[in-house]
Amino acid sequence: MPNKKNKNKKKNNHHHHNNQHQQKPQHSQNGSHEDEVEEQLKNLKLDDKKPEQAYRVAMSEIYGRYLVANRDIKPGEVLIREPALAIGPCVSADPVCLGCYMPVSLKITQYRCPSCHWPMCGPNCRGNNHPKGHTFAECDLFKKENAAAPLTPTASPEQVKNLYELVLVVRILLLKKLHPELYERIMIMESHLEMRKKNSELWSHYESNVVTYLREKWHLAEQFSTEEIHTVCGILDVNCFEIGQNFAKARTLYPSAFLLAHDCCPNTAHTDDPETYDIILRTSRNVRKDETITLSYAYTLQGTLKRREFMQAGKLFWCCCKRCSDPYELGTDCSAIVCAKCKTGLIRSINPLEQEGEWKCDKCSFTLTYKEVVKLLDKINNDLESIDPHDVPGLENFIKRYSGSLGPNHYLLLSAKYSLCQLYGKIEGYLLPNLSLEDLKRKQTYCRDFLKVVDILEPKLTRLRALIMYELHAPLLVLAQHLMMQKLISSRDFQKTIKEVIYLLKESSMILKMEPVGSTEYQMALAAEEALEKMGG
């Protein structure tokens, strides 16, 4: 569902839901709303809620069930830490080990499970015969049905993706008999089955790729009905988290985190334990009593048009959060396009909640239709995606090419800038000691451009903000040292910069230290601490 900035605005974010989200809860015909919520709560089987529990479950017409703060909550408080009910590989053409979700290949030399022949990382994989990995039950089924047969070295990406899509569905279905209590906890999740039935493209994909495949090819028709399998597919689409550290990639369902409502400028951030796959969900900023607790199901550094489309396609709702309702996206202006006619104005959606509505220049009368905007964005996005992610000149060229047609904070420009922030100083040919002054300045500018937006969209205690602050400290320090040596800045200005470097390192290490031990982010927190020590900060 998951994953990322006007300081004055931060304060206003506490009540960032529009009235639509706070509509009066729906009343059932036979009982009161309280009875209904009570019943839902019972069904949820969440751990006993102590009075000091930070949140409670509420229900509304818009959100369905969702979590609300029971009291004021400070930034960084852990609200949820819980193990997954089910875990499996993502729907992806990149094969992973069924035990630990690390990348594997389909080469002839790749280790495979001796029994079912599915690729695994090795004979000692910690997830072998493990409830959170490759179990005996699934191995038996895969062996009997020769399920891994299509995973040959010449398998097409499509074939690989289609097969990996089935694994978690099967794992959940197998729980029905083996761990009915877990199955029951999954089955109370929203599947949007009725809405999915009406979406013929979506329905027929699952009907042929999953339902028919499992019932006919893997002979599961007697055990599971068509509706049951479609329900599991819906539950996964709507509720699963994509997790993983250090190259592992998996998708998971969690018993209470699934209840979190979405917001495009959320008030929590989550991470996962690389050993246990537990989810750890923290508040990223102050949350007031009775405020909705939210996380972002979409990538926050994308424009409203694309985020809303993503949510509608997978989660089957049109987001109407404060950011989505605002043509200026909370002041970030990260969707604005330069007007091709007057060349000075910026074009924005007139009403972003009207998905297919018109876009208009703020200086002249020029307008763009929804289709024209989509076409333009798709073209530029394809251009960006065709650049090798390590190609510094390619990314620089992209920024040059589109700076005249996209607004200064446009998310596609920010995406290229973010990549460059991470490449300058880190990759061969661009290592920190060899960086030119120009490149150092570029890294610094891109970090600042990016941080300005992150400070609004993912403020305070968020990983993305910490990562970019860490990246920013290096060019600042090296540039200041250079300028000082050349006597091009006063010692006062030098001290000022050093103060900022210390602030950046402290802030980023404090945030990244909240990440689990063993994650790359935690490693970075240690590196930031080391840098601080060297500076005597």
Ligand X SMILES: C[S@@+](CC[C@H](N)C(=O)[O-])C[C@H]1O[C@@H](n2cnc3c(N)ncnc32)[C@H](O)[C@@H]1O
Do 287 and 77 contact (CB within 8 A), yes or no? no
Residue 411 near ligand X by CB under 6 A: no
CA dihedral for 192, 193, 198, 199, sign (positive or negative)? positive
Of the candidate spans 255-263, 272-280, 331-339, 373-381, the one that interacts with ligand X by CB under 6 A turns out to be 255-263
Q: Please state the closest distance from residue 39 (CB atom) to ligand X, in A.
A: 13
Q: Please state the closest distance from residue 365 (CB atom) to ligand X, in A.
A: 34
Which of 356, 251, 242 has the alpha carbon at shortest distance from 304?
356
Residue 239 near ligand X by CB under 6 A: yes
Amino acid making up residue 57: V
Q: At residue 17, what are phi and psi to the nearest 5 degrees? A: -95, 135
Q: Please state the closest distance from residue 316 (CB atom) to ligand X, in A.
A: 5
Q: Please state the closest distance from residue 302 (CB atom) to ligand X, in A.
A: 16
Neighbours of 385 (CB within 10 A): 9
Partners of 241 in beta bridges:
252
Of the candidate spans 59-67, 266-274, 386-394, 396-404, the one that interacts with ligand X by CB under 6 A turns out to be 59-67
Q: How far apart are CA 372 and CA 358, in angstroms?
A: 10
Residue 315 near ligand X by CB under 6 A: yes
SS (H, E, C) 351-382: CCCCCCCCEEECCCCCEECHHHHHHHHHHHHH
Residue 259 near ligand X by CB under 6 A: yes
Residue 254 near ligand X by CB under 6 A: no
Q: Which residue is nearest to ligand X (CB)?
A: 64
Residue 262 near ligand X by CB under 6 A: yes
Choose, by CB under 6 A, the member of 101, 142, 224, 258 that binds ligand X: 258
Which of 5, 2, 3 has the alpha carbon at shortest distance from 449?
5
Do 229 and 173 contact (CB within 8 A), yes or no? yes
Q: At residue 278, what are phi and psi to the nearest 5 degrees? A: -60, 145
Q: Please state the closest distance from residue 34 (CB atom) to ligand X, in A.
A: 17
Choose, by CB under 6 A, the member of 4, 5, 16, 65 that binds ligand X: 65
Q: Please state the closest distance from residue 161 (CB atom) to ligand X, in A.
A: 23
Residue 293 near ligand X by CB under 6 A: no
Nearer to ligand X (CB atom), residue 224 or residue 241: 241
Strands 261-262 and 294-295: parallel
Nearer to ligand X (CB atom), residue 99 or residue 234: 234
Q: Please state the closest distance from residue 368 (CB atom) to ligand X, in A.
A: 27
Choose, by CB under 6 A, the member of 261, 480, 505, 512 that binds ligand X: 261
Which residues inside 179-198 make contact with ligand X, applying CB under 6 A? 189-190, 192
Residue 66 near ligand X by CB under 6 A: yes
39 Cβ contact partners less than 8 Å away, ≥ 6 residues apart:
31
Q: Please state the closest distance from residue 196 (CB atom) to ligand X, in A.
A: 11
Which residues inside 316-345 make contact with ligand X, applying CB under 6 A? 316-317, 319, 321
Which of 137, 141, 131, 134 has the alpha carbon at shortest distance from 86?
131
Residue 469 near ligand X by CB under 6 A: no
Residues 210-224: b if buried by 16+ CB within 10 A, e if exposed: bbebbbeebebeeeb
Q: Please state the closest distance from residue 303 (CB atom) to ligand X, in A.
A: 17
373 Cβ contact partners less than 8 Å away, ≥ 6 residues apart:
305, 337, 349, 359
Q: Please state the closest distance from residue 405 (CB atom) to ligand X, in A.
A: 31
Residue 16 near ligand X by CB under 6 A: no
Residue 270 near ligand X by CB under 6 A: no
- What distance lies between CA 384 and its chain's CA centroid? 20
Residue 380 near ligand X by CB under 6 A: no
- Tell me the C-alpha to C-alpha distance, in Å, between residue 505 and each of 283, 473, 517, 522: 21, 7, 18, 13
Residue 353 near ligand X by CB under 6 A: no
Q: How far apart are CA 342 and CA 189, in angstroms?
A: 51
Q: Which two tokens stand for residue 333?
A: 């202006």
Of the candidate spans 45-53, 81-89, 253-261, 442-450, the one that interacts with ligand X by CB under 6 A turns out to be 253-261
Residues forming contacts to ligand X in the complex (CB under 6 A) are 62-66, 189-190, 192, 238-239, 258-259, 261-263, 315-317, 319, 321
